[in-house]
């Protein structure tokens, strides 16, 4: 079966971001960008399904600027067969991205679509669910285990109280949690081979999708700073401070 994996180019997770002085957003000039960690896990899961003989073809897709080709090349180096870039310079809402992905789903007709559960920049946690709604497919979000069995997929999900297992009819949408797998590193020969793999570029207009949004960001501010407190010398002093100064115990 065909698997579609959606990836996103985001600021690297180790970067401490800074808010712009004019409060228009976060300063991303000259900041290291990477594939969103949850998306790496999605690619890895697709590659493992191919290695098990469940999947026959993996298509990596992203919606983003021209530079997002780098992240698609990374996905190709990790084992995706071909890639699709839906090129859009502006930052889009999750709903717009879900609509564009729906356009790609209609074209490619995958049996399984794997996405990360959230992007670490917008922290929305919406796109997979929205894509599932638009395509009418079942959804297995926050997956920590995925087992394809015939025309069904069993997904173990991380929920507030523990774990929950659901069975979904294929085609279905799965979003990955951190514990689903440990992504591999791309080897140099695979990075070289990835340069020759096909990468198709589309525009939102090609998919007939309007990307307008009803949500506007008025301003972005730094959170209230929390300053370092004091160092105590002993457990006695700590207990005393908590009881008498902070009055929390």
Partner 1 sequence: MTILVIAEHNNAELNAATLNTLAAAAAIGGDIDVLVAGEGCSAVADAAAKAAGVSKVLLADNAAYAHQLPENIAALVAELGKGYSHILAAASTNGKNYLPRVAALLDVDQISEIIAVESADTFKRPIYAGNAIATVQSSAAIKVITVRATGFDAVAAEGGSASVEAVSSVQDAGVSSFVGEELAKSDRPELAGAKIVVSGGRGMQNGDNFEMLYKVADKLGAAVGASRAAVDAGFVPNDMQVGQTGKIVAPQLYVAVGISGAIQHLAGMKDSKVIVAINKDEEAPIFQVADYGLVADLFEAVPELESKL
Does 172 help bind partner 1 (rule: CB under 8 A)?
yes
CB closer to partner 1, 15 vs 199: 15
Does 98 help bind partner 1 (rule: CB under 8 A)?
yes
Does 115 help bind partner 1 (rule: CB under 8 A)?
no
Distance CA 60, CA 80 (A): 6
| Contacting partner 1 within 33-92 (CB under 8 A) | none
CB closer to partner 1, 169 vs 195: 169
Q: Find the part of the chain contacting partner 1 (CB under 8 A) among 47-55, 62-70, 196-204, 215-223.
A: 215-223
Does 32 help bind partner 1 (rule: CB under 8 A)?
no
Q: Which of 56, 66, 165, 187 binds partner 1 (CB under 8 A)?
A: 165
DSSP string, 137-199: -EEEEEEEEEEEETTEEEEEEEETTEEEEEEEESSEEEEE-GGG--PPPPPHHHHHHHTTS-E
Does 188 help bind partner 1 (rule: CB under 8 A)?
no
Does 166 help bind partner 1 (rule: CB under 8 A)?
yes
B/e letters for 215-242, b = 16+ CB within 10 Å, e = fewer, are eeeeeeeeeeeeeeeeeeeeeeeeeebe
CB closer to partner 1, 76 vs 86: 86
Does 133 help bind partner 1 (rule: CB under 8 A)?
yes
Cβ-contact 148, 112 below 8 angstroms: yes
Does 163 help bind partner 1 (rule: CB under 8 A)?
yes
B/e letters for 112-126, b = 16+ CB within 10 Å, e = fewer, are bbbbbbbbbbeeebb
């Amino acid at each position: 079966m065909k698997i579609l994996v959606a990836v996103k180019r985001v600021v690297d997770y180790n970067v401490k971001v800074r808010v712009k002085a004019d409060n228009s957003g976060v300063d991303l000039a000259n900041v290291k960008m990477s594939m969103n960690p949850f998306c790496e896990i999605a690619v890895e899961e697709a590659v493992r399904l191919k290695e098990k003989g469940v999947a026959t073809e993996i298509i990596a897709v992203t919606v983003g600027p021209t530079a997002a080709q780098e992240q698609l090349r990374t996905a190709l180096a990790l084992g995706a067969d071909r890639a699709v870039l839906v090129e859009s310079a502006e930052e889009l809402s999750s709903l717009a991205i879900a609509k564009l992905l729906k356009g790609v789903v209609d074209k490619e007709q995958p049996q399984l679509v794997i996405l990360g559960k959230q992007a670490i920049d917008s922290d929305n946690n919406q796109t997979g669910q929205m894509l599932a709604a638009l395509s009418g497919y079942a959804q297995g979000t926050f997956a920590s285990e995925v087992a394809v069995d015939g025309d069904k997929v069993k997904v173990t999900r991380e929920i507030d109280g523990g774990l929950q297992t659901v069975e979904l009819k294929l085609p279905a949408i799965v979003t990955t949690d951190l514990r689903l797998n440990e992504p591999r590193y791309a080897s140099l020969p695979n990075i070289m081979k990835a340069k020759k793999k096909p990468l198709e570029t589309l525009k939102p207009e090609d998919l007939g999708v309007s990307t307008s949004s009803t949500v506007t960001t008025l301003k972005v501010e730094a959170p209230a700073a929390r300053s370092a407190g004091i160092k105590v010398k002993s457990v006695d002093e700590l207990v005393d401070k908590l009881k008498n100064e902070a009055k929390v115990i």
